[in-house]
Amino acid sequence: DAGVTQSPTHLIKTRGQQVTLRCSPKSGHDTVSWYQQALGQGPQFIFQYYEEEERQRGNFPDRFSGHQFPNYSSELNVNALLLGDSALYLCASSLEGTSRPLHEQYFGPGTRLTVT
């Protein structure tokens, strides 16, 4: 049983470009949350997707958008990249959205995005 997978592992982009990160949830999970972890910081919640809709959002600008597909996989898109977007982007999956406790959420290994 595969856990949460993310691709790519590493990515280097130039300021102003756009990037798409991908996440496949753990088998049986239907909810995907995205986090940004800047260097030396704890993860910060970006948003959560359930039933192909964004349910909750953290304090991130509209440049950050996402999508969830019918197979529950998800994409995180970031437009007009800034140097400050350089971070580890973590995806986490769980079952049934907001009602589940945190310990039923599983994290992927992350995508390291570097913006130059």
Partner 1 sequence: GEDVEQSLFLSVREGDSSVINCTYTDSSSTYLYWYKQEPGAGLQLLTYIFSNMDMKQDQRLTVLLNKKDKHLSLRIADTQTGDSAIYFCADPNSGGYQKVTFGTGTKLQVIP
Query: Which residues lie near partner 1 (CB under 8 A)?
Result: 33, 40-45, 48, 55-56, 58, 90, 92, 94, 98-103, 105, 107-110
Cβ nearer to partner 1, comparing 38 with 80: 38
Nearest approach, Cβ of 111 to partner 1 (angstroms)? 10
Q: For partner 1, which is the closer residue by CB, 16 or 61?
A: 61
Closer of 41 and 114 to partner 1 (Cβ) = 41
Nearest approach, Cβ of residue 109 and partner 1 (Å): 4
Dist CA 36 CA 110 (whole Å)? 9
User: DSSP string of 32-101?
Assistant: EEEEEE-TTS--EEEEEEETTEEEEE-S--TTEEEEE-TTS-EEEEE-S--GGG-EEEEEEEESSGGGS-
Residue 103 φ/ψ, nearest 5 degrees: -75, 0
CB of 80 to partner 1, least distance (A): 25
C-alpha separations of 76 from 24, 37, 39, 66, 101 in Å: 12, 14, 19, 4, 23
Measured from the CB atom, is 7 or 18 closer to partner 1?
7
CB of 112 to partner 1, least distance (A): 8
